[in-house]
Structure 1
């Protein structure tokens, strides 16, 4: 079922949107490595019709856009999405955790956070935390120590780690300061709200 705002946008005389949609169709086709013939076959269009759609020589019909969106493995809303003005996002200072935080607009509930760690992970196993969710982190500089269940993992600069947060875990440095960029889903972020020290992950 088509969203009302999608229908409104596609019925407006908007030359910029029209051009953007045509470029997006071609870019998605090329990204898949498909020829005009291949996408046309998937969308049940003739190659000449598809070529005219991409080149702006044929009117964009809503029913064809629905078919093309399916063939390109995307949604109609994503196919006709307009550019947004707020491409650049400034960080929010997270005073609780001593880092910078950026919400991810495309994935509500997802958060990116950069943090400088200066202390090693806790020695006491009872200090490890577990909570619902998933986390992904990359070490930007220095070396981090990730305690994960019964494992002690060394994560070097430019290495990443992804793990379910129901495993008891904590993170700290292997010696000197360590800069870490973490991505948290909604549940993992909620589990971090009451975190008191940067050594807890």
Structure 2
């Protein structure tokens, strides 16, 4: 079954599949659906166009829902398979597909210590950031305050507040969620 397969083609194929899986004859399904055997035969073979009013009776005759008879296209593969992106001391693995609802993007992030210190002027941008530290220690400078965020702790802050973060005493692994503006900034620092 493909996304491009026409609905009527899909229904005809599913009708035949379900009928044969259940070991039913055309006559048995036609009787249960209260339609003529020749009509059912022509529906299955594509010689007669399927009408919407056929669906409930045929689904009931086969003991399935109309959705099962329609053979809806299966959902796309939900796995996120993007390549990691490296930016200086940070490597980010996308955990969400592009175009996620609300424009939010989640990343698994590993930050290695590189001797960097916060710049004299901390960056500010539109948006909101959220981090959850999985392992290690994260230094977060937020305005005039300096925090050490340890494994198991989460932080959330407006990115209108001047901010900077880096690893302390070894690599830090975290989950980060960024809005569209924060994503652009963090991926291109």
- What's the TM-score once normalised by structure 1's chain length? 0.51
Secondary structure of residue in 1 paired with 2:170: coil
* 1:162-173 pair list within 5 angstroms: 162-173=156-167
**Displacement of 1:136:** 1.1
Distance 2:81 2:112 in 1: 21
Structure 2: runs of 5+ lacking an equivalent: 1-5, 15-62
Partner of 1:118: 113
Secondary structure of residue in 2 paired with 1:91: coil
Partner of 2:186: 192
Secondary structure of residue in 2 paired with 1:187: helix
Partner of 1:83: 75
Q: CA RMSD in A?
A: 3.4
Secondary structure of residue in 2 paired with 1:192: helix
**Displacement of 1:101:** 2.5
Distance 2:73 2:130 in 1: 28
Structure 1: runs of 5+ lacking an equivalent: 1-7, 16-55, 61-79, 196-201
Q: Is the 8 A contact 2:111 2:173 kept in 1?
A: yes
Residues 130-174 of structure 1: CA distance to partner in whole angstroms, max 9, x if unpaired? 111111111111111111111112211021111111111011123
Residues 43-93 of structure 1: CA distance to partner in whole angstroms, max 9, x if unpaired? xxxxxxxxxxxxx78767xxxxxxxxxxxxxxxxxxx99532x22222312
Bigger Rg over Cα: 2
Distance 1:185 1:156 in 2: 23
**Are residues 96 and 173 of structure 1, via their aligned partners in 2, closer, same or farther at CA, if it must alter by over 3 Å?**
closer
Distance 1:157 1:149 in 2: 22
Partner of 1:149: 143
- What's the TM-score once normalised by structure 2's chain length? 0.54
Greater fraction strand: 2
Q: Is the 8 A contact 1:135 1:184 kept in 2?
A: yes
Partner of 1:19: none
Displaced runs of 4 or more, over 6 A? none
